[in-house]
């Protein structure tokens, strides 16, 4: 389960101290690097550095899926076991370590921090370009050449990734042009104001990610795809990052721009001529990210609505059709241990079971959709629910279960209840928070027309009042 935006950012890092004590020579023999006998070894490795993950998702909704971590795929019987390879790591660089340190004696500590922030922006662009080229050279091109996937499938998975490379090469070139011979940079605001509108290209890339991830996960069931990705994962160039981690790098970079600009602005003096441009650039990037965020969330909502299967026409609900926001979704269990996939749209809760139809993962409605406005919820204490559905009937530890919550609603005058079990306490709390927020949003939306109507009635009454009937009482001063 993944929450929506959680930037964790540390721009300036202390350089590690170097000890002055002499190191004794080691008597240990150094083992030579083993060769990687894999498809990936045919590909010339691209120089690239560690991915610094900032945000976990760029979508408006919260998707209850595992965080995009390096995936270690289980070995298949047909896969040859390969000895672990030496992982290529990217060394993080600081401005003060890259350029002449003599300049630092002439700059204030605040200006040094500003130069570090500008350099981080530039270095991040270089790292991003290298990773995007790596994804194309080490994954897409070989899979196409070896017919591991069709060109149509690869286009769906990689989306518009190719179009992002010249976009960021342009920004990197501009930043390097304004860098002085001593490594310092005076102005970047005007460059960003001129370049940031190009990020609208990210709309199509980010909106395609949900469908791309689903197709990639499906194709991993093909042993040729699985074997190729496993070999790449165990090769040095991957830095132990799976293919999806590389495809997710542009989104991570996008949500990092506001943080980078805020850091540059923070260390730019108020009288600096670049400050006005930086303020403008800050407003621009926040608006661009918010717009892409909204469109990505709507794209995800449409994707899952199209994959809902109805057993009967009575299960169809206009609230599902009209939903544009998917607040959260993920796997839960009922009190009998049955795995369910639950979707919380903006106005309706939908309980489904994951099924495969035409080699595609779909979601078959398991219960009648529940309008959020009628929904009530309750957090159940650990041990309060027992498998089989009895409440407060658990007499032994083996029967007790944890992380349950209950939702209830009235249908046709009868109270109906569903008990769901989350994977852990954090997952359960996220569900409860999302349900509460969805309920508050629905209630707020329903109250606004009533408030507006009351205000309209009051205005009408005031306009009809006969002002000649009012008696004015003088006030003594």
Looking up residue 425, the CATH number of its domain turns out to be: 2.30.29.30
Q: Are 3 and 68 in contact (CB under 8 A)?
A: no
Mean pLDDT of the chain: 76
- End-to-end CA distance of the chain, in Å? 68
| Residue where a domain stops, chosen among 306, 330, 357 | 306
Strands 326-334 and 62-64, by their bridges, are parallel
Task: Tell which residue, 343, 340, 417, 404, has the closest CA to residue 374.
Answer: 417
Q: Are strands 308-309 and 339-345 parallel, antiparallel or unpaired?
A: unpaired
For 252, the token pair is: 């991570």
Sign of CA dihedral 254, 255, 259, 265: positive
**341 in the same domain as 246:** no
CATH of the domain at 156: 1.20.900.10
Q: Is the pLDDT of residue 39 over 80?
A: no
Structural domain span for residue 262: 108-306
Nearest Cα residue to 38 out of 72, 71, 105, 85: 85
What element of type H or E holds 268? none
Whose structure tokens read 């929450």? Answer: 3
> Does residue 437 sit in the same domain as residue 294?
no
Residue 477 domain flag: no
Q: Indicate the helix (H) or strand (E) that contains 98.
A: helix 95-98
Helices (H) then strands (E): counts for the chain:
14, 10
Asked whether residue 397 is assigned to any structural domain, the reply reads no
Strand ranges inside 4-107, DSSP E: 62-64
The pLDDT score that the predictor gives to residue 194 is 96
Q: Which two tokens stand for residue 315?
A: 């299960």
Task: Judge if 291 and 321 occupy the same domain.
Answer: no
Write down the pLDDT at residue 26: 45
Pull the structure tokens for residue 469: 């009937």
Number of domains forming the structure of the chain? 2
pLDDT band at 437 (very low <50, low <70, confident <90, very high): very high
Query: 89-98, 124-133, 316-325 — which one is most confidently predicted on average?
Result: 124-133
Q: Does residue 260 sit in the same domain as residue 117?
A: yes
Write out the two tokens for 65. Answer: 């899926």
Question: Is this structure's pTM higher than 0.75?
Answer: no
Residue 466's pLDDT is what?
44
pLDDT, greater one: 53 or 143: 143
Axis-axis angle for helices 161-177, 109-135 (nearest 10): 150
Record the tokens describing residue 266, joined without a space: 């923070």
Q: Higher model confidence: residue 276 or residue 59?
A: 276
Q: Are residues 318 and 377 located together in one domain of the fold?
A: yes
- CA atoms of 465 and 469, how far apart (whole Å): 8
**pLDDT of 78 above 90:** no
Q: In the predicted model, is pLDDT for residue 70 greater than 80?
A: no
Q: Return d(Cα 123, Cα 93) in angstroms, integer.
A: 8
Q: Are residues 284 and 357 in the same domain?
A: no
Mean pLDDT of 121-137: 94
- Distance separating alpha carbons of residues 404 and 424, to the nearest angstrom: 9
Q: Are residues 357 and 211 in the same domain?
A: no
Structure confidence at residue 444 as a pLDDT band (50, 70, 90): confident
Question: Which one is predicted more confidently, 4 or 340?
Answer: 340
Pairwise pLDDT comparison (208 vs 75), residue with the higher score:
208
């Amino acid at each position: 389960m993944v929450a929506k935006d959680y930037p964790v950012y540390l721009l300036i890092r202390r350089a590690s101290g170097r000890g002055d004590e002499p190191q004794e020579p080691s008597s240990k023999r150094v083992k030579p690097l083993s060769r990687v006998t894999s498809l990936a070894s045919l590909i010339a490795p691209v120089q690239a550095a560690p991915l610094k993950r900032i945000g976990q998702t760029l979508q408006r909704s919260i998707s209850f899926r595992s965080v995009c971590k390096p995936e270690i795929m289980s070995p298949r019987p047909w896969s040859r076991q390969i000895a672990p390879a030496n992982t290529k790591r990217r060394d993080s660089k600081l401005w003060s370590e890259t350029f002449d340190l003599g300049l630092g004696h002439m700059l204030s500590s605040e200006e040094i921090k500003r130069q570090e922030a500008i350099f981080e922006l530039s270095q991040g662009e270089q790292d991003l370009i290298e990773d995007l080229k790596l994804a194309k050279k080490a994954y897409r091109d070989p899979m196409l050449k070896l017919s591991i996937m069709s060109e149509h499938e690869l286009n769906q998975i990689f989306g518009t990734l190719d179009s992002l490379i010249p976009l960021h090469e342009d920004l990197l070139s501009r930043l390097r042009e304004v860098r002085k011979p001593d490594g310092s940079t005076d102005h970047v605001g005007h460059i960003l104001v001129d370049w940031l509108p190009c990020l609208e290209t990210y709309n199509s890339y980010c909106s395609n990610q949900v469908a791309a991830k689903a197709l990639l996960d499906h194709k991993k069931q093909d042993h040729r795809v699985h074997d190729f990705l496993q070999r790449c994962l165990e090769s040095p160039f991957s830095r132990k990052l799976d293919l999806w981690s590389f495809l997710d790098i542009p989104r991570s970079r996008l949500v990092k721009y506001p943080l980078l600009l805020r850091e540059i602005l923070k260390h730019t003096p108020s009288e600096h001529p670049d400050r006005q441009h930086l303020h403008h650039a800050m407003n621009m990037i926040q608006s661009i990210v918010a717009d892409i965020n909204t469109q990505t969330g709507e794209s995800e909502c449409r994707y899952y609505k199209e994959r809902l299967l109805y057993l009967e026409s009575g299960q169809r609900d206009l609230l599902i059709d009209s939903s544009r926001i998917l607040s959260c979704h993920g796997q839960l269990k009922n009190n009998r241990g049955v795995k369910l996939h639950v979707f919380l749209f903006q106005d309706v809760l939908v309980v489904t079971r994951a099924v495969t139809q035409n080699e595609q993962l779909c979601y078959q409605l398991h219960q009648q959709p529940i309008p959020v406005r009628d929904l009530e919820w309750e957090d159940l204490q650990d041990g309060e629910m027992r498998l089989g559905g009895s409440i407060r009937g658990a007499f032994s530890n083996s029967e007790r279960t944890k992380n349950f919550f209950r939702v209830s609603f009235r249908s046709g005058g009868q109270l109906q209840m569903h008990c769901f079990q989350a994977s852990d306490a954090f997952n359960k709390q996220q569900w409860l928070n999302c349900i509460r927020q969805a309920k508050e949003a629905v209630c707020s939306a329903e109250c606004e027309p009533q408030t507006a109507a009351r205000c309209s009635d009051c205005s009408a009454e005031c306009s009809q009042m006969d002002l000649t009937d009012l008696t004015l009482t003088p006030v003594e001063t």
